[in-house]
Amino acid sequence: MAQSFHNKILRVNLSDGTTSVESPGPVYFRRYFGGWNIIADVLLREVPAGTDPLGPGNKLIFAPGVLTGLPVSGASRCAVGAKSPLTGGFGAAEVGGSFGAQLKRAGFDALIIEGAAVHPVYLWIKDGEVEIRDASGLWGMPTKETEAALRDELESKRAEVAMIGPGGELLARFACIMSGTKDAAGRTGLGAVMGSKKLKAVAAFGSHGLESHDQDTVLALAREMARGVNAGERAKGLHTWGTGVGLDGGLASGNLPVRNFRDGEFEGVTNLSADVFMPAIGVGMEGCYACAVRCKKMVKAEGPIPLDPDYGGPEYESIGALGSTCGVNDIVAVSKATELCNAYSLDSISTGVTIAFAMECFERGLITLEDTGGIDLRFGNGEAVIRMVDMIAHREGIGDLLAEGSLRAARRIGGGSEAWAVQAKGQEYPMHEPRLKRGMAIGYAISPTGADHCHSLHDTGMVHPDDQGFSQNSGLRGMGVLEPIPLESLGPEKVRASLYQSIRQVSLNCMCLCLFVPWSPEEETRLVRAATGWDVTSYELYRVGERAWTLARGFNAREGFRPADDHLSARSHEPTTSGALSETAIDADRLRDAMQMAYGMLGWDRETAIPTPEKLHELDVGWAAAYLS
């Protein structure tokens, strides 16, 4: 029977140069699907407690899902995971582009990399075969040059490359892994893990298409989504300008962070809106493998700050992190900083928020011109932001400290600066304000990866009823969240909605489907059925996500994470100095009560927040209990 997976996991040991292929069987893939579940399974079983994230004992896992590589919008994605050097816990990030699709087309459902090479190497995976090759000549190159050099050496312009630049090589704790030059597995510092293994890149190519159980249904669903996108019925805003449209509205509501999440007013915010700057510096839109949405910007500029369109353009998270959060309203400077993050393999979110933290320290006198090497590190200085990105990637001067992330930097700087490190579990906040979105507050606090907006609830769409009195969030309404919930609520109804949303999003990180492509739960079920031949249901897809969420939490529990770690930055418990949130803050006691409610709903012990053996057995992963005792 044709299926959209191969039942093959490739394992590469860089310490001894050995490779092997494992076939865990169809039950394994139906239980896990891919993504987060495979990552958590490997980390719990194979990475001992207390392992140094930047040591050879850590393992780096590339895990596509059962849908990855199909000619379907949103099915290009691949999850990547390891023990995080930024948080010390479960590390995972998802990335689009074309690498995940090529890894599947090359014949593998996952790639596990263990050990560490003694000199720089790269992997070449083609049509079921793998080679470990020397990468000494590539070490130090930015990503664009790395990709070009590899394609020339491999004589394959169609090879797709997952790689790191200097940021990953020099172990910046929030280094990312780039899929090509425009798409990043951005969060939790996985690029540093890759660098610690002296692994410069993984190149993949498959010459055969991916089969499905029911190819006609897969293609029919793909055509209908493409038709809806092109007709403006689905993903219209993303299809036109990508993310980051209408930032003045985000500022007015309080969602857009300003000057390290401290302030609420920002002159020139419209300069940063995609619908304003793309007509001026935009040169087109691109998309991931087989995707009709094409939400990826490309920008170009000449002059004192040139912009290279080969590195794409700034999305909302980069615009906010390197722009408004640093007080910068010059879109060319923000775009250049984003370009350098892609070139050097740095997570633009953590990079921008860490620079903003340093700017506040500079403003308050804890960092001086002597510390910065004469750089005027004040809010609004776009040239300083660009320079800091370069210094962080190369661990030059104060960049060496900032490459550790805002929390570690604050603990070294002292002077009360930890209160200005805007992070959860050591990972910097994304560009969504939890003082506005209380579902986001719950998500940031409880997430196993630290603050993350992609699997947390954006509850601004749940406030008003439709004409029948139901919540306007159709996705959650279909899961039984029927009534509107006040934005400021941290009560049981908000906790339930937040958990449902997080688990549903994590299920997408197992399939691996893009959240920007508006597949309904019913369509997702039809896709998986047609791709695999399994008689899955929407309920089963939800349980796949819950299984992944619980195993990730189990890994953190084994590493010593407890309820005291499920909290927000001190900044979230005070109002902004001005603007929409100037009289708004999160009550820490109410948030702790929400966490306790969440533990109970999830089947975790209320005192330790460790998943109970009963819950693990209910999710068919009872084996994990032995690793949590």
CATH number at residue 178: 3.60.9.10
Residues 392 and 294 placed together within one structural domain of the fold: yes
401 part of a folded domain: yes
Quote the tokens at residue 491: 């009560």
Rounded mean pLDDT of 361-368? 98
102 part of a folded domain: yes
- Cβ–Cβ contacts within 10 Å for residue 519, how many? 23
Q: What is the pLDDT of residue 473?
A: 87
Rounded mean pLDDT of 463-488? 92
Which amino acid, 621? V
Contact 76, 179 (CB under 8 A): no
223 part of a folded domain: no
Contact 222, 71 (CB under 8 A): yes
Spatial separation of the C-alpha atoms in residues 627 and 163, rounded to whole Å? 32
Residues 251 and 366 placed together within one structural domain of the fold: yes
Residue 504 has pLDDT above 80, yes or no: yes
Residues 43 and 148 placed together within one structural domain of the fold: yes
Q: What is the pLDDT of residue 201?
A: 99
Residue 489 has pLDDT above 80, yes or no: yes
Spatial separation of the C-alpha atoms in residues 327 and 114, rounded to whole Å? 41
On the 0-12 / 13-18 / 19+ scale of CB atoms within 10 A, 304 is exposed
Domain count, the chain: 3
Residues 59 and 140 placed together within one structural domain of the fold: yes
Model confidence pLDDT, tens digit, residues 30-63 = 999 999 999 999 999 999 999 999 999 999 999 9
Spatial separation of the C-alpha atoms in residues 4 and 69, rounded to whole Å? 8
Mapping DSSP to helix (H, G, I), strand (E, B) and coil, where does residue 547 land?
A: helix
Dihedral sign computed on CA atoms, order 131, 137, 143, 146 = negative
Residues 6+ positions from 121 with CB-CB distance below 8 Å: 14, 132, 133, 134, 135, 198, 199, 200
Residues 170 and 29 placed together within one structural domain of the fold: yes
Which among 410, 428, 446 is the end of a domain? Answer: 428
Which domain range does residue 372 map to? 235-428
Q: What is the pLDDT of residue 237?
A: 87
Quote the tokens at residue 380: 């609004």
Model confidence pLDDT, tens digit, residues 232-260 = 999 988 999 999 999 999 999 999 999 99
Model confidence pLDDT, tens digit, residues 369-395 = 999 999 999 999 999 999 999 999 999
Residues 74 and 201 placed together within one structural domain of the fold: yes
Model confidence pLDDT, tens digit, residues 299-317 = 999 999 999 999 999 999 9
Mean pLDDT across the chain:
97
What strands lie across the sheet with 160-163, from one edge to the other? 129-134, 121-126, 199-205, 160-163, 177-179, 183-185
Residues 196 and 96 placed together within one structural domain of the fold: yes
Quote the tokens at residue 153: 């050496």
Residues 198 and 115 placed together within one structural domain of the fold: yes
294 part of a folded domain: yes
Quote the tokens at residue 62: 């590339």
Model confidence pLDDT, tens digit, residues 132-176 = 999 999 999 999 999 999 999 999 999 999 999 999 999 999 999
Quote the tokens at residue 436: 């506005």
Dihedral sign computed on CA atoms, order 189, 193, 198, 201 = negative
Which among 185, 205, 225 is the end of a domain? Answer: 205
Model confidence pLDDT, tens digit, residues 603-620 = 999 999 999 999 999 999
Q: What is the pLDDT of residue 291?
A: 97
Model confidence pLDDT, tens digit, residues 405-425 = 999 999 999 999 999 999 999
Model confidence pLDDT, tens digit, residues 164-176 = 999 999 999 999 9
- From the list 16, 206, 210, the residue with the least C-alpha distance to 129 is 206
Residues 391 and 518 placed together within one structural domain of the fold: no
Give the strand pairing for 296-299 and 183-185.
Answer: unpaired
Model confidence pLDDT, tens digit, residues 67-102 = 999 999 999 999 999 999 999 999 999 999 999 999
Which among 389, 405, 428 is the end of a domain? Answer: 428
3-state secondary structure 529-545: HHHHCCCCCHHHHHHHH
Mapping DSSP to helix (H, G, I), strand (E, B) and coil, where does residue 123 land?
A: strand
Residues 6+ positions from 66 with CB-CB distance below 8 Å: 4, 5, 29, 33, 34, 109, 511, 528, 531, 532
213 part of a folded domain: no
Cα dihedral 551, 556, 557, 563 in deg (nearest 10): -110
Provide the total of helices (H) and of strands (E) in the chain, helices listed first.
Answer: 25, 16
Where does 288-347 have alpha helices with state H? Answer: 316-322, 331-344
* Per-residue pLDDT band at 474 (split at 50, 70, 90): confident
CATH number at residue 496: 1.10.599.10
Contact 164, 194 (CB under 8 A): yes
| Prior bond of 514 cis (ω within 30°) | no
565 part of a folded domain: yes
Residues 458 and 403 placed together within one structural domain of the fold: no
217 part of a folded domain: no
Q: What is the pLDDT of residue 101?
A: 97
568 part of a folded domain: yes
Q: What is the pLDDT of residue 590?
A: 98
Q: Cα(first)–Cα(last) distance of the chain, in Å? A: 41
Model confidence pLDDT, tens digit, residues 424-467 = 999 999 999 999 999 999 999 999 999 999 999 999 999 999 99
Inter-axis angle of helices 215-230 and 521-532, to 10 degrees?
150
Residues 494 and 393 placed together within one structural domain of the fold: no
Spatial separation of the C-alpha atoms in residues 346 and 372, rounded to whole Å? 20
Percentage of the chain exceeding pLDDT 90:
98
Residue with tokens 């000199």: 119
Quote the tokens at residue 185: 């597995």
Model confidence pLDDT, tens digit, residues 538-582 = 999 999 999 999 999 999 999 999 999 999 999 999 999 999 999
Residues 200 and 248 placed together within one structural domain of the fold: no
Q: What is the pLDDT of residue 344?
A: 99
CATH number at residue 300: 1.10.569.10
Distances (CA, A) of 514 to 219, 447, 455: 17, 19, 12
Contact 416, 443 (CB under 8 A): no
Spatial separation of the C-alpha atoms in residues 140 and 446, rounded to whole Å? 37
